[in-house]
Amino acid sequence: MKLELHRLNVKKLAFGTKTGFADGTLTVNKSELLALIAEDPLLGKNIDADLALPGEATRIMPVKDVIEPRWKISGKGQVFPGLLSDVETVGEGKTLVLSGCAVLTAGKLVRFQEGIIDMSGPGADYTPYSKTCNVVLVLEPSDPNMDKHDYEAACRMAGLKAAAYLAKCCADVQADSVQVCEMPSIREAMNAYPELPKVGYIYMLQTQGLLHDTYLYGVDVKRILPTLISPLEVMDGAIVSGNCVSACDKNSTYSHLNNPVISDMLKRHGKDFNFAACIVTNENVTLADKRRSSSYAVKLAKMLGLDGVVITEEGFGNPDADLIMNCRKAEQAGIKTALLTDEYAGQDGASQSLADSCPEGNACVTAGNANEVIHLPAMSKVIGYPQEADVIAGGWKGSLADDGSITVELQAITGATSELGYTKLGAYTL
């Protein structure tokens, strides 16, 4: 498979009469964008769109998802297949990417499981989305008593439609750069680089239900057994977030599209190891389902003859059990593992970091302690609903001070402890 990502480098945003791109600026026709979103009868009449640029004294909250604008300009399928487009397989052809730009969906959905993005100040140092030029959709339901699942679906589709619209309007502009990505077939991969270890990626997706959902080609991943997927399909929009989980380690649609584990493994392919396979698996609620999925994922790794796997988690607590089952079973099958997770070690850092562990899990990368407390100074502009600071996960009653400043745990900051490593935190062993 061969995928070309044609990138336009967005450095500024502006509202104007026609949506398009020129000289580093993405101009957005606000009325046209809102009319597109308002086609959904599940969304209220008071929806709005705003712009937020890096370095501005702007706070955005509560943020549900972050999506990178993309549009396929040639090849099979279209972006976000199974949701926004037909279910044709993606991962090949040419896709336009508005690099440096993001669509944010904001609004009171589950309330305690959305996040905060500050475009400047100390909070900006913890979220990667303080460096993107953000088109923010402020959404509300048409009926305040609407079923939460229906409202989540409406918010999810609004973000995807906006992202595709923005990129489609720029489809005729010549790219600033072209990134070419290739991935061999399984048959070719099995015979390539015999002197190098065969390494795979076990990609855990949050699928616990009750709005803890992720979609693969439009299918709720809790409904599938672990399966093989090309990394290029991931880079082309096959995985979409539907999650309302703690903001710090929620894998946004943006972070799936730009998964740094996949990116780095492709760069090291043929040099340090043979990147042979990507296995998507789910995070379950019942013990039987956890056992089934972990055994099946490791079975696929064994069938492919993998020597090692990188395993990434999404979320914390209950999913820690899935992470450790995947680790232990892989190690017992003779497959070396490296784990990527974050920690909930208490505000003092002295509590147990994970809800589960095993002796085999001795190669683990941390994305940080989500319970660390941070003070966010007041901003001159707030897009959304600042009062949600008192109920958001990582906050508490009184988190929002009278002067507009907020004191919360990192748990409340979108992407602060991303377990894909799409974060600004780093660590080293003493």
**Range in 26-35, 182-191, 412-421 the model is least confident about:** 182-191
Contact 204, 251 (CB under 8 A): no
Q: What is the DSSP string of 369-382?
A: ETT-EEEE---SEE
Note the pLDDT tens digit of each residue in 188-221: 988 899 999 999 999 999 999 888 999 999 999 9
Q: What is the mean pLDDT of residues 46-57?
A: 97
> Catalytic pick from 133, 155, 244, 327?
244
Between strands 274-283 and 48-52, the pairing is: unpaired
Q: Is 244 a catalytic residue?
A: yes
Q: In the predicted model, is pLDDT for residue 430 greater than 80? A: no
Q: How confident is the model at residue 244 (pLDDT cuts 50, 70, 90)?
A: confident
Q: What is the mean pLDDT of residues 382-410?
A: 95
In this prediction, residue 209 carries a pLDDT of 86
Q: What is the mean pLDDT of residues 155-159?
A: 96
Q: How far is CA 117 from CA 57, 156, 173, 248, in A?
A: 11, 18, 30, 11
Note the pLDDT tens digit of each residue in 69-112: 999 999 989 999 999 988 999 999 999 999 999 999 998 877 77
Q: In the predicted model, is pLDDT for residue 371 greater than 80? A: yes
Asked if omega into 62 is within 30° of 0 (cis), the reply is yes
Contact 103, 97 (CB under 8 A): no
Q: In the predicted model, is pLDDT for residue 5 greater than 80? A: yes
Q: In the predicted model, is pLDDT for residue 240 greater than 90? A: yes
For residue 15, which phi and psi values (nearest 5 degrees)?
A: -85, 145
Say whether pTM exceeds 0.85. Answer: yes
Q: What is the DSSP string of 43-56?
A: B-TT-EEEEE-TTS
